[in-house]
Amino acid sequence: MSLDAVAKHAFAYEGGDVVLADEHTVVTRCGNLLKFSSVVSNSQHFLPRAKASRIVAFDVNPKTASIALAACEENASIDIYALPDKRWKGRLPNDTAAFEYHLLKFSRCGSRLLSLGTDHGNQLRVWDLDRFDAIDGCLATLPHRYSFASFNPLNPDQFVLGGDRGIVFWRVCKVQTTFCLSRMDAAVTSSGEYAGSAVSSEEAAEKRREYTCHCWSKDGKLFAANRMGELVKLDPTRGEILAVVVLSRTAVLASLVLTAECLVAGFSDGSVRWLHDHDYSVLQTRLVGLGLSPSHARIVLGSSAGGLYELTALVDVDEDEKSPAANAASLLNKLGGYHTGAVLSMALLIPAGGTTNDAVVVSGGVSGALYFWTVQSCKGIAVSSLTDLFESAPKTMITAVAARYLDPIVVVGDATGHVRILSVAKVAAASIDVAPIHCARVCTTAIDMIEIHPASALALLASSSSHVVYIMSLDPERRFRILGFAQGPSPSARLSMVKWVPTSSLDTSAFVASLGHETFYCALTNLDERIAIEFHLMLLGAFQPSTVAQRGVFLSPSHALKLLTYVNFNAKHVSVLRINDAPKTIKSVEAKLLHADAHAKPLTAIAKSPFASRDGAEIFATGAADGTLSLWLLQPTTVGLTLNDTVWHFAKQKSLVLHAGAITSIVFSHAEDATYVYTSGVDGAVFCVELKPEHGLGLLKSVSEGASPLYVNLGRRSNEPEKKAPRWHLTNDGRPFLDTYADEQDSLARAKFDAIKDKIRGPLSALQLKLQTMLAHNAELPEMEALARDEFVINRDLEASLLAQNAARATDVRSHIGRQIAEMNIVRERMKAEFWDTGDTKGVVLKGLNNSELIVYNLPTRKLGAAEKRREAAVQRLRQLEYQLARLEPSESVRTARRQTSAGYHHADLIPPAITWMVNAGLLHPTLGKREAPPPKPEEFDLSTPVRLVDLIYHPAMIRTRKQQRTQIALLLAYERQLLGEYNKDFDELARLKESKMDEIEAKNARIREIGAELQVHESPAVYSWSADEVADSVLSLRPGEMTKTPTQPKDDVAGRALRDMMNGTLEVKKELVQGSSLVREPWMDETPADELSPEQKLKLQAYDAEAARIADEKEKYKKSLDLELKKLKADIADICRGFDEKLKTLQDMYLATRLSVLTQQMYMLRLGDVLLSHEHICHDLASLSSEIASIETEIASLHVDHAQFEARLESCKDEWHKSMDDDKALERAFPREIEEAAGAPLEHDVLRSLTELYRKRRS
């Protein structure tokens, strides 16, 4: 029992070469295969290939019925096949591993082949197909790449190469017993002048050297077209230009062929022209290729939009009187239109009004259009672009397509987060109508996962760039509303799969989702048609990144288990997942590996057929990243209580290499007792593969399906032209669903609160009116009868109980707050011990006084543990002993003298004092030739002299062992801490300087404020203070600006609170400038006129005026002295700030230098650590290989023993066999005598011969 598969049809044209193998067969590249399409019928056949490699070049020779093919692969070679049976004839070898062909061309006779490829350059080679080997001497390296080449049809020894660098003619010349290549460049300009050029001479000359296409004339001349729109005729023997015809100055020739009667040219603007001045507008897209039939009577052209067209090569002169549109319609026949770019998704459905034989496959991808293909006849019947169906839809790629087989709607997701629903109705045979019925923006990322419920009108929408799953209703009466959504626990996690879980009841629905490395389960209950509901995901289990489900299908429910067969994009295995979701039980999941190496590359797609074998085996199809399609039969042979107890039969039936790239989607279909598999890939191809059961494998439908009655009226409306005007809801505000949902929730909350407020507001208003009436009545009573405000309370017990309840609640709140504060204090102390106390130097900054942008950081360090300190001291002590022993070593011996004169010994004298030689691990170390004289030896050596840490560091040239490398790392770490410590000392010293300068500035500011008070002038000097990031302990205290709540105010500080509320906590008194003076002006000096004053009074008045003038002069001098002091104080403050900022800039330079030095040491340590880790890995690998070799040797020894036993057994068997043969021969020789003795008389010769023959045949 097995299953076979054959590629039946393909919907693809990648926009490459178009070649006609005969009058009716077009050959194009299609994925990983060569496609042969008939222009008469819709039949196709393919050249199968076993390797998953992209075809880069091919050519067909109709005369010898041969195909040359080259693929993009390692050790690329050229394969030759024979037509029409596609039999492999041979291979042209390649002696270079790094090689790729990009152009192959046959000669007209088919005996030679021209190849162009790249191998550290552009290589030209001519092959002899009679010997299947390269022609000796016909190998050349080209200076650049050429875009076209061909042999002269009249002379196989001559060929041409052309492209953007001009045209070159080559000839194969025979020299005695070998061959060689002769080259001749074609002329650039002719002897005549070029007329009608609208460009400059330099630009025109450049464009005339750039050729785009060519063809050969009947007399062996070459027609070539350049980018100036000119057709040039050249002589291949001399390279001269014979004629120039200007065809177009606006369009460039893309293809050129010579028919039996005329020259046909295809232009980049989509037009095709014959050279007898007839112009027919054919296409609105750029032409990329023209193919000519062997009889020069039929032309097939391809466009960059993915279309293939058949064009009549011969033009009837009598048809010139027709209109251009009529001529174009009569000459042009469209062979097919296909995808441009990757195909990302496919779906299968039956249009409204159709039957099973009318089923269509719809596909969408990067081009932004939906292509519809019939399953039965394999024809493209419609192409619908989203921009044409929806007025406001921008051009965007289609990322997901989903449909249910019997429902005539298609759900489409695009890269902008929109979900669009289309209805598909049958209009006539091989004709459908596609109508839009809904459009909505679900999210802002691409919708690339759409899963339609198998029984209900529901669909799951998700994006692999989001963590939200949306549940959408597919009921037209509900306007395709989103009924709910579910969010993952982590916004950073991304969805990779959503699948409906099969259930036996239509009332409950559930789905599983793979989010990050975890699998979740969600049951949908109480779906509301009016408002969306947020559902919660239940965790089923966590997996490794390579085992999480990313694409999967559920097995048929006949197994009574919910089993999901799935694949992972980063793995090559196929696994099965069992979901345990029985009612009133804990939901769980189990996983098991079905096949460890299902494909050679990671898997990208999986699908299940609706048909199964008679014994219950289900058919699966998997696609891989290399374009391989594999068919499987899967069946659980023994079902256990757990998934690990279940025994599976999972067998591969067939593998086909179809696509030149990853397979994106797989769809099963059937028509007229035939089962097909449709595959799409990133290469833009859609393949149809027919399944052929063999060896008694019978297929039965495993799933019963039914059409939904919801879309009956929808299909009826589409089929009636008079009812096509009313459409479903197509308007969309462009906002994502979650934003709209948040607005709806806010509106509902506001409406709910407004209703509660209205319900409470009525009784409160009545109570307020009653209290106001009672208070008004109480105010009118006499003073003796009026009640106090607290006497209005009637129920004292209730008052006391309420006060007690409030006091108890306050006590609970206080205790709860106290517990929270205690918990936070414990956490704070733990965090402080973990992160704060372990730091030796805390990280702070130092800012400038004048320049606030001048910031310098210190370099934080951590405290070393006791073990680290002991290790560091031990390493330095050992290295110091080694260093001192090297310096104390005597120099009388020859060996010691030789070593002391080496570069490694005197490296401290050869290198600069700083350790800049550590950059690049000592590559800057000077050579021996740079040392002019040996270093002077010291007069005496003192062991008590302290050794610097930098002297202990090895020079890279001195490191020879792993221990020295580890010692070097430890010394570099210590030196790094020393550098950081020295810098931090300077930083702390400057911080102390800033503190002193700030105190000095504050003293001057106090004097400035005193002077301003004396002068009665408002002075506001700049106040310098420490910012939060300049104080290390600031992270341990809470600042007022960081408080989110108002602190509790004590009850007994009423006056303080009033003062803070009214005057911000200060009482200011206006200070008057009082000058102590005893001068008093008497009243009579102002009341008595001057003529009535007595002489004594006049003398007193004169004395008073003189004293007043003197006091005023002293006040002015004192004010001037205060002004001068104020200016001096401000200048001193500016000088202090400027001086500190200069010192801070110097510290900043030191910070950069220290940081550079530290990074240098760290880089060197990383390199040393990398060397050590590499050595450790090598040792580990060596140990594992040694153990593996030992196990293999043990196995070999056991095999030798088995071999010896087998040889002994074989020899005994041989002896027995030889003995049996001898006995048999002896019996055969004695048979005639024994048979005659048994008969008692001689037998006839014929009888005896017959009996002997029968005796000989007894063994068989």
CB 633 within 8 A of CB 660: no
Query: Tokens 């067209």 sit at which residue?
Result: 309
Return the closest-CA partner of residue 851 out of 1137, 500, 524, 1120.
Answer: 1137
For residue range 963-993, list pLDDT tens digits in order. 999 999 999 999 999 999 999 999 999 999 9
* Residue 394, SS3 per DSSP: coil
Residue 933 is predicted with a pLDDT of 44
Question: In which band, very low, low, confident or very high, does the pLDDT at 284 lie, cut at 50, 70 and 90?
Answer: very low
What letter represents residue 561's amino acid? L
| Region 182-200 average pLDDT | 64
Give the pLDDT confidence score for residue 1205 in this predicted structure.
93
- State the pLDDT at residue 1060: 59
Most confident of 432-436, 523-527, 697-701: 432-436
- The pLDDT value recorded for residue 278 is 43
Give 1080 or 319, the one with higher predicted confidence: 1080
Sheet of 66-71, strand order: 55-61, 66-71, 78-82, 87-92
Q: In whole angstroms, give the CA distance from residue 25 to residue 35.
A: 10
Higher pLDDT, 289 or 314: 289
Cα–Cα distance, 115 to 663 (Å, whole number)? 31
pLDDT value, residue 324? 54
Using one digit for the tens of pLDDT, what is the confidence trace for 513-571? 999 889 999 998 888 877 888 999 999 888 888 888 889 999 876 556 788 899 998 88
What's the pLDDT at 942? 58
| Alpha carbon distance 626, 606 (integer Å) | 14
Which one has a higher pLDDT value, 874 or 201? 874
Residues in Cβ contact with 880 at an 8 Å cutoff, skipping those fewer than 6 apart: 947, 952
Residue-wise pLDDT for 5-17, tens only, equals 888 888 888 778 8
Nearest to 148 by CA among 104, 108, 111, 209: 104
For 71, 91, 95, 508, 659, the CA distances from 74, given in Å and listed in that order, are 9, 15, 11, 54, 18
Residues 660 and 31: beta-carbon distance below 8 Å: yes
Residue 400 C-beta-side C-alpha neighbours within 13 Å: 26
Please give the distance of CA 142 from its chain centroid, rounded to a whole number.
Answer: 38
Q: What is residue 195's predicted lDDT score, i.e. its pLDDT?
A: 40
- Residues with Cβ within 8 Å of residue 1235, at least 6 apart in sequence: 1243, 1248, 1251
- Is residue 276 very low, low, confident or very high in pLDDT (cuts 50, 70, 90)? low
- Of 1000, 1005, 995, the C-alpha closest to 1025 is 995
Segment 1155-1184 mean pLDDT:
92
Structural element, H or E, at residue 474: none
d(CA 261, CA 785): 130
Q: What is the pLDDT of residue 1033?
A: 84
Contacts of residues 732-739 at CB distance under 8 Å and 24 or more positions apart, as own/partner, are 732/392, 732/418, 732/439, 732/440, 732/441, 733/441, 734/441, 735/441, 736/417, 736/441, 736/442, 736/443, 736/444, 737/440, 737/441, 737/442, 737/443, 737/470, 737/482, 737/485, 737/532, 738/443, 738/468, 738/485
Q: Give burial (CB, 10 Å; 0-12/13-18/19+) of 1206.
A: exposed
What is the tens place of the pLDDT at every residue in 213-233? 999 988 889 999 998 888 899
Q: When comparing pLDDT for 1063 and 608, which is higher?
A: 608
pLDDT in tens, 887-929: 777 655 555 555 554 444 444 444 444 445 555 444 333 333 3
Is 339 in contact with 365 (CB distance < 8 Å)?
A: yes
Count the residues in the chain: 1260
Q: What ranges make up the beta strands (E) of 15-145?
A: 19-20, 25-30, 33-38, 44-47, 55-61, 66-71, 78-82, 87-92, 100-106, 112-118, 122-128, 133-142
Where helices occur in 332-473 by DSSP H, the ranges are 386-389
Taking the C-alpha atoms of residue 151 and residue 169, their distance in angstroms, rounded to an integer, is 10
Predicted confidence band of residue 1074 (pLDDT cuts 50, 70, 90) = very low
Looking at the DSSP assignment, which residues form a beta bridge with residue 78? 70, 92
Cβ-based neighbour number of residue 43 at 10 Å: 13
Nearest CA to 34 out of 24, 42, 53 is that of 53
* 260 Cβ contact partners less than 8 Å away, ≥ 6 residues apart: 295, 296, 297, 313, 314
Q: Quote the tokens at residue 1169.
A: 């650590």
Reported as a single tens digit per residue, the pLDDT across 719-777 is 554 444 344 445 556 789 888 888 888 888 888 888 888 888 888 888 888 888 888 88
Where do we find the tokens 């007229």? 672
The DSSP bridge partners found for residue 59 are 68
Q: Which 8-state DSSP code applies to residue 153?
A: T
pLDDT at 486 > cutoff 90: yes
**Alpha-carbon span 350 to 330, nearest angstrom:** 34
The two three-digit tokens of residue 406, written as one number: 């019997």
pTM of the predicted protein model: 0.59
**Is the pLDDT assigned to residue 669 strictly greater than 50?**
yes
Radius of gyration of the chain (CA): 49
Percent of the chain with pLDDT over 90: 30
With bands split at pLDDT 50, 70 and 90, how would you rate the model's confidence at 1037?
confident
Residues 659 and 683 sit within 8 Å (Cβ to Cβ):
yes
Separation of alpha carbons 431 and 429, rounded Å? 5
More confidently predicted of 696 and 364: 364
Q: Average pLDDT, whole number, for the chain?
A: 82
Across 1022-1034, average pLDDT: 87
Q: Is the pLDDT of residue 716 over 70?
A: no
Rounded to a whole number of angstroms, the distance between the first and last alpha carbons of the chain is 32
Q: What is the dihedral of CA 1001, 1003, 1008, 1011, to 10 degrees?
A: -160
pLDDT score of 916: 52
Return the ∠ at Cα 586 (arms to 585 and 591), rounded to 5°: 120
Cβ neighbours around 742 below 10 Å, total: 11
